[in-house]
Amino acid sequence: MEKLFTSSVFTPPHGFTGGIEGPACDAQGNLYAVNYAKEGTIGKVTPAGQSSVFVELPNGSIGNGIRFTRAGEMLIADYKNHNVLKVDMATKAVTVWAHGPGMNQPNDIAISANDIVFASDPNWSNNTGSIWRVTPGNVTLLESGMGTANGIEVSPDGKKLYVNESVQRRIWVYDLTEAGAISNKRLFIEFPDFGLDGMRCDSQGNLYSTRFGKGTVLKISPQGNILQEVVLHGKNCTNLTFGGPDGRTVYVTVADNGNVEKFRTDAPGRCRVLSGVVTS
């Protein structure tokens, strides 16, 4: 029987810098994460685990969260230059999809089924943050005055937006409309210790959250109950995504080891269903 929720090392230690973040898989199952070999790059890891630089970002940009549109274009939160960047996967051309001069540090991004992007925007110096809605050429502030907004995700039915606050150790949930409006903010779950970073949903609506400093990934039910805690080899896990032919392989970026770990789970990721790679 297949062993679930047991993490193994996928890429060699320190192939990525300590800034490894933002994992996402394309339709072919290749994994991408930021800062391979040096800052400012996007690394590509094949399903067999072979790593290389996919693209180097221009103008001193440094990426964080990565998502794919329905058309297969890569979107990257560029925290250095206050952008969401777009990468043409065929030509590797990098363009500015949207620029937000009012953003402090666009960090993680989530994407709806109709390609609306939501960006968390932490200010680490004063432990505050904001949420932005991003469409091509347009950036709209949805909420300010939060704690250190970091991980962000849309539920599989598109009706909820989850956002966590790393330093305050809280995850919030909002009602979400198809047009990208949020309302009815409420506390989803909070913790007495360790940080929170990147998050993803599976196709069943469970939320997977990285516990930075603790070295675990939590599987949390839509009702806010902890269902599983996966222990990693590294401690500073920054983000995760789903991949594999059946969408049930979770890849986790780990900053203190500069690499990627992986484990198998029991349901495909929302991102894999959204991209049409697998069914729910």
- Flag whether pLDDT at 125 surpasses 90: yes
| Per-residue pLDDT, 1 | 80
* Cα separation, 79 vs 117, whole angstroms: 15
Note the pLDDT tens digit of each residue in 142-201.
Answer: 999 999 999 999 999 999 999 999 999 999 999 999 999 999 999 999 999 999 999 999
Q: 76 pairs with which residues across the strands?
A: 66, 85
CA distances from 257 to 105, 108, 234 (A): 24, 20, 6
Residue 271 backbone dihedrals phi, psi, to 5 degrees: -65, -35
Q: Once rounded to an integer, what is the mean pLDDT over residues 73-92?
A: 97
| Per-residue pLDDT, 235 | 98
Give residue 93's identity as a one-letter amino acid code: A
Q: Once rounded to an integer, what is the mean pLDDT over residues 42-68?
A: 97
Residue 182 backbone dihedrals phi, psi, to 5 degrees: -115, 150
Token pair of 144 as six digits: 């300010």
Angle at 67 between CA 66 and CA 72, to 5 degrees: 125
* Cα separation, 34 vs 24, whole angstroms: 10
Note the pLDDT tens digit of each residue in 252-266.
Answer: 999 999 999 999 999
Note the pLDDT tens digit of each residue in 187-239.
Answer: 999 999 999 999 999 999 999 999 999 999 999 999 999 999 999 999 999 99
Short-list 155, 173, 56, CA closest to 113 = 155
Torsion sign (Cα): 220, 34, 57, 46: negative
Active-site residue set: 197
Confidence of residue 278 (pLDDT cuts 50, 70, 90): confident
- Flag whether pLDDT at 280 surpasses 80: no
- Flag whether pLDDT at 126 surpasses 90: yes
Q: Which pTM was predicted? A: 0.98
